[in-house]
Amino acid sequence: MIDRSLFLTVTFLIAFGVVMSYSLSSYTVIFFEYSEFHFALRQAIFAFGSIFIIWALAQLDPDVWLHRIGMSLFFTGLVLMIAMPFLPSSLVSEVGGAARWIKIAGFSLAPVEFFKVGFVYFLAWSFARKLGHHDNMGLKAEFLRFIPYAAMFVVVMVLIAFIQKDLGQVVVLGLTLAFLLFFAGSSFKFFMSLITASLLFFVFFIFTAEHRIARIKSWWALAQQNVLTVFPESIARHLRIEAVDEPYQISHSLNAIHNGGLFGVGLGGGTFKLGFLSEVHTDFVLSGIAEEFGFLGVAAVTLLFVFIMHRTFRIANRSSSGVYFLFALGIGLLIVFTFMINAYGISGLTPIKGISVPFLSYGGSAMLGSAIGIGMVLMVSKKMERKK
């Protein structure tokens, strides 16, 4: 039995995303002299495509198709990402030195969005075959069996972080990898040492460049207002730094949230979407929703994502095969982490990463990618075991 409620939830989010892409792009379309429906129309086309893909994938037999589709996505995505730096500029659109899109038939597609789904499948498939329970084999042995995956992840990281300059995606993939490892049978100790190692790497990464330190500082100056309130004053005093001006985008994101209040100013009535927040229909779509639908609107959207998490985890939990289990879990994590990194970014909790909200943000590749992921999870959902 296909998970109907998951399908409907995702469909609703996609539809809501189309509405918001119309409302939130109202300044951009005037500024660039586009037609009023420039963004909404494109988003709608992708929305219909995505919903169709989800439906179509859900019909297929996972025992036959999941492997074929997962592997094709993984390898095609990988090959495209490796090839992208060498492709002529007529095929690759480059924005700010980041080559993320390939032009196909008038559309620009970002291979990474499809690769992510393939990546999750590849890990699920490989982990289910190669990794078993750790059985207290020791940290060293666990580390040794992880080495091939670590090597692959480094390649992927280089491709995405340095060539596409998309650190947010790397974080999402890294987190998903770590959690999947854990669920594939690694020990908690190994899991924690992996997390610690990546944290250390991150700290090292940040302190090797002046501008990254500055960025972290400016983030903390803002985040402390929220974070320090939970600490006792004696500790908070030492953590507090001189307030500097809020970063421009975050500042307007918070303005938008504040302006929205509890109920919002109403659909179409936002002010901070009018050029203050320059990417309001993409990365800051949650701020836009917060302004027009208020806290309640954002809470409702968040609850829908919690529901998606719940349904994918439920599918994972009830899967008969290890691959299905890890894949459904991985896709759920992928969507949740993506949402969360964006959500923490726009509310000033973490330094912002240019990452979009699944289903809601304007952008065809991300939507299609997520839709394929959900479609494949629904495909798997047919093989769910009845309640034990």
Least Å distance between CB 333 and other proteins? 8
> Is there binding between residue 199 and other proteins (CB under 8 A)?
no
Least Å distance between CB 153 and other proteins? 21
CB atoms near residue 178 (< 10 Å): 20
Stretch that binds other proteins, among 13-21, 78-86, 289-297, 357-365 (CB under 8 A): 289-297
> Is there binding between residue 126 and other proteins (CB under 8 A)?
no
Residue type, 339: F
193 versus 271: smaller Cβ distance to other proteins:
271
Least Å distance between CB 370 and other proteins? 17
Q: Give the separation between CA 244 and CA 341, rounded to whole angstroms.
A: 23
Query: Binder to other proteins among 255, 267, 279, 353 (CB under 8 A)?
Result: 255
φ, ψ for residue 248, nearest 5 deg: -50, -55
110 versus 250: smaller Cβ distance to other proteins:
250
Residue whose C-alpha is closest to residue 309's, from 114, 125, 179 = 179
Pairing, β 92-95 against β 98-104: antiparallel
> Is there binding between residue 271 and other proteins (CB under 8 A)?
yes
Query: Binder to other proteins among 77, 260, 358, 369 (CB under 8 A)?
Result: 260
* Interacting positions 82-121 with other proteins (CB under 8 A): none
Question: Are the beta carbons of 194 and 176 closer than 8 angstroms?
Answer: no
> Is there binding between residue 33 and other proteins (CB under 8 A)?
yes
Specify the residue for token string 């650190």: 167
> Is there binding between residue 322 and other proteins (CB under 8 A)?
yes
Stretch that binds other proteins, among 2-10, 61-69, 253-261, 379-387 (CB under 8 A): 253-261
Q: Give the separation between CA 170 and CA 291, rounded to whole angstroms.
A: 30
> Is there binding between residue 329 and other proteins (CB under 8 A)?
yes
Least Å distance between CB 306 and other proteins? 6
Least Å distance between CB 72 and other proteins? 26
Q: Give the separation between CA 155 and CA 233, rounded to whole angstroms.
A: 45
Least Å distance between CB 51 and other proteins? 25
Query: Binder to other proteins among 247, 279, 354, 383 (CB under 8 A)?
Result: 247
Query: Binder to other proteins among 27, 327, 359, 362 (CB under 8 A)?
Result: 27
Residue whose C-alpha is closest to residue 332's, from 148, 113, 172, 202 = 172
Least Å distance between CB 358 and other proteins? 14
Question: Are the beta carbons of 310 and 299 closer than 8 angstroms?
Answer: no
String marking each residue 139-178 x if it binds other proteins according to CB under 8 A:
----------------------------------------
- Give every strand in the sheet of 107-109, ordered side by side: 92-95, 98-104, 107-109
String marking each residue 44-83 x if it binds other proteins according to CB under 8 A:
----------------------------------------
205 versus 248: smaller Cβ distance to other proteins:
248
7 versus 325: smaller Cβ distance to other proteins:
325
Size of the site for other proteins (CB under 8 A): 52
Least Å distance between CB 292 and other proteins? 13
Residue whose C-alpha is closest to residue 161's, from 346, 354, 341 = 354
Interacting residues with other proteins (CB under 8 A): 27, 31-33, 128, 131-133, 179, 183, 185, 218, 226, 244-245, 247-248, 254-255, 257-262, 271, 274-276, 290, 294-295, 298-299, 302, 305-306, 309-310, 313, 316-317, 322, 325, 329, 336, 340, 343-344, 347-349
